[in-house]
Structure 1
């Protein structure tokens, strides 16, 4: 069974993080599904809002204006179960100038041809999938991947990642097929 990893529908808008763009790495490389050189300076994400820091720290999957980042707990599970499928880059998270902690930016290294194009529904007008069906056994031994043809979309995980991470705060898993909540299918 395969699952799509997504942010939880009730993720607080006030917890969106901003990537500090003066960093040595342009955020577009985080989406390329290729291993990158470790940055020479620390990647920084900032909130700049009046939030409850202790409540914020309970989230394991955090949304940013670049890519989602992970708590140490979530990153450790991915590193143990899928060390060859994901590169984890350490980041620092701040609220204004207050250091909150280290988080991890995942770069998904495996790009797999796993979409069943015959049964999936793609809307050309909006350039978006309404429904994505995955081919059975298409991930092989890979635990977490991105799909060819859906490179900028949600990561896809195997059952063991799902079972270890399904209770992580801030994320949701959708069993394949994925039905885009923006459309009636």
Structure 2
């Protein structure tokens, strides 16, 4: 069984992080599916709203204005389950000048042709999928991938990743097929 890794539907708006672009590398490189040179210093993300830091620190999957980042706990689990499928780029989160902690930005290195185009529904007018159905056994031995034709979309994980990571806070795993909640079928 395959699952799409997504942010939890009740993710707090105040927990969206801003990438500090002035002293960091261009964020466009994070959207590709290629290994990049590890920056000398960690990427920096900022919290721009008053929040409970203790509650914030419980989240393992955090949304940013460029790509989700993950906690050390989640990063260690993914690195154990899929060491060849991801690259983890070090990141730091700050609340003004106070460091909140260490996080990682995952880059998904495997791009697999796994969409069942005969049962998926793509809306050309909106340039997005209404429904994505995956081909059985198409991920082979890869535990976490991106789909060809859906490169900027959600990562796809195998059952083992789902079963070991389903309790991570801030993310949800959507069972295949993926039905876009923004569009009606």
Same fold (TM over 0.5): yes
TM-score for both structures, normalised by structure 1: 0.98
Q: Is the 8 A contact 2:42 2:89 kept in 1?
A: no
In structure 1, distance between residues paired with 2:161 and 2:87 = 16
Counting matched residue pairs gives: 185
Aligned-CA RMSD value? 0.7
In structure 1, the partner of 2:88 is 88
Structure 2 residue runs of 5 or longer lacking an equivalent are none
TM-score for both structures, normalised by structure 2: 0.98
Q: Residue 75 of structure 2 aligns to a residue in which SS?
A: helix
In structure 1, distance between residues paired with 2:175 and 2:50 = 35
In structure 2, distance between residues paired with 1:65 and 1:95 = 16
Q: Residue 131 of structure 2 aligns to a residue in which SS?
A: strand
Structure 1 residue runs of 5 or longer lacking an equivalent are none
Q: Stretches of 4+ moved more than 3 A in 1? A: none
Give the 5 Å matches for 1:24-103: 24-103=24-103
Give the 5 Å matches for 1:107-122: 107-122=107-122
In structure 2, the partner of 1:183 is 183
Q: Residue 66 of structure 2 aligns to a residue in which SS?
A: coil
Q: Residue 5 of structure 2 aligns to a residue in which SS?
A: strand
In structure 2, distance between residues paired with 1:57 and 1:69 = 13
